[in-house]
Amino acid sequence: MDRSIQVIAMCLITNLGLIFFLYPADIIASLSTGHWSAVLLGFVIHIGMVSVYIKGLSKCAPKNVIDLFQSAGNVFAFLMLLPLAVYFVMMLIITVRAYAEIVTMVFLAQTPLWTIMLLFLALSTLVSLWGIESLFRTSMLIALLFFPFLIIVVILSFQNVDWHYMLPFVDRKTATFSYVFHRPFLQSLFAFVGGFLFLGFIPPYVPYQSRKIIMASLLLLPFFLISVYVPLLTFGENTASKFPFPFIMAVDTVDISWLMFDRITIFFMISLLCFVVLFLSLVMWMTLQLLKRSMHFFNAPIASVLLAATVFIVCLLVPSWSNVEQMIWWNTYLRLYAAFVIPLVTFALGVSRRRKEVIRP
């Protein structure tokens, strides 16, 4: 049974949950003009790696990425997947800590930070224990409930834009791609890497068609551009670069007289936080799958609680927002590993496996 619609919904939700908060600030910090270049480059990398990843998986179907790596040897699988497991744990820590800080900054200033982090982890742990099929059914429900609100807010966010801020389109830094190895651009890849790795973990539980996933991923490009250009066109580059969350600030300037609530930011935040909780649940489920293959005494409920407790304790030890930003930067090497090495090795193993099947009499 083809369940591509559920996979597409999960792809869109997990990516949208990562786009609108940290990503705009990193792209705006990467360039002073021609920000479209950095957005398009990151998106091309994203589509390229997704295509390579899915192509490799299709050649070894119905095996998932763990089965594929283990077919090359347990030692090889351990060495290749250990950095990926560490990356997933780091993603959990950074996402929980960063988004809890965002919630307190935007509309829950009096709420203790630890309660928000605990709520994130409790919800994501519970959802991850339901299993991958329940996760995908939940993604469909969340998409139906909150995606319309997100679209409305995105449309309304253009209320105060000044299109003159679009110019100039290009400068020397944009044309030469000299920003590629700078810290802000490398950090911006956080929004691209987290949302596609689950595609290698769901076979054979959730079958899907590769072509549909790649085509649906193209729908994300407008949201990447909007998340960067709405604050740029609202405030200008000099002002937008001062904000830690430029898109949130741009949405907060929207004045809708017919709305019973003063700020549409609340609707926007609630929608995206639901997306983030689903993303955390998915990452936790993938981490548990890796642990399950490496531990014969694995117990899913106990392991999930221990993982959540570890993430919670580490999050409590992070004292300030500047430390969160430093952790995002430290995670760059693991992010590049997950973005490039895992898809390329998956493709190489998939091609090798297919050739052996063809040669075998």
Confidence label for 262 from pLDDT (cuts 50, 70 and 90): low
| Closest of 301, 328, 61, 294 to residue 199, by C-alpha | 61
Count of the separate structural domains present in the chain: 1
pLDDT tens sequence across 90-134: 999 999 999 998 888 877 778 899 999 999 999 999 988 888 888
Domain span at residue 198? Answer: 4-359
Question: Residue 244 corresponds to which amino acid?
Answer: P
User: What's the confidence (pLDDT) of residue 33?
Assistant: 87
Are 351 and 56 within 8 A, CB to CB? yes
Specify burial of residue 304 (Cβ count, 10 A radius: 0-12, 13-18, 19+): buried
How many CA atoms within 13 Å lie on the side-chain side of 162? 8
Residue matched to tokens 């988004």:
99
Residue 42 has pLDDT above 80, yes or no: yes
How high is the mean pLDDT of the chain? 87
Q: CATH code at 339?
A: 1.20.1740.10
Question: Residue 241 corresponds to which amino acid?
Answer: S
User: What's the confidence (pLDDT) of residue 44?
Assistant: 93
The pTM for the full model equals 0.91
Average pLDDT over every residue of 271-285:
91
